[in-house]
Amino acid sequence: MSTTWRVGVDSGRCIGTSICAGTAPEHFRLVDGLSTPLADVVTPADVILDAADSCPVEAITVHDADDRLIAPQE
């Protein structure tokens, strides 16, 4: 498993449901009504995958150190 992940939020897709911030408040917050990761590079954690997989518009992406997409899962 990768030692770090890159987390991103597509602001063009985000609709501000705040599910991510509720699921993983230590990793996401809403800024001006849209989700923002608190850090672009994070230590792997299942709660981050849960947040990405819970996003109704798949605005959150998680990539491993080799730039492979981990979430959202298809």
pLDDT tens track for 24-48: 999 999 999 999 999 999 999 999 9
Q: Give me the count of residues in the chain.
A: 74
Q: What is the pLDDT of residues 9-28, one digit of tens each?
A: 999 999 999 999 999 999 99
pLDDT of 1 reads 57
Domain locations in the chain as residue ranges: 5-65
CATH for the 5-65 domain, from 3.20.80.10, 3.30.428.10, 3.30.70.20, 2.40.128.50: 3.30.70.20
**pTM, entire model:** 0.91
Using CA atoms, how far apart are residues 12 and 16, in angstroms rounded to an integer?
11
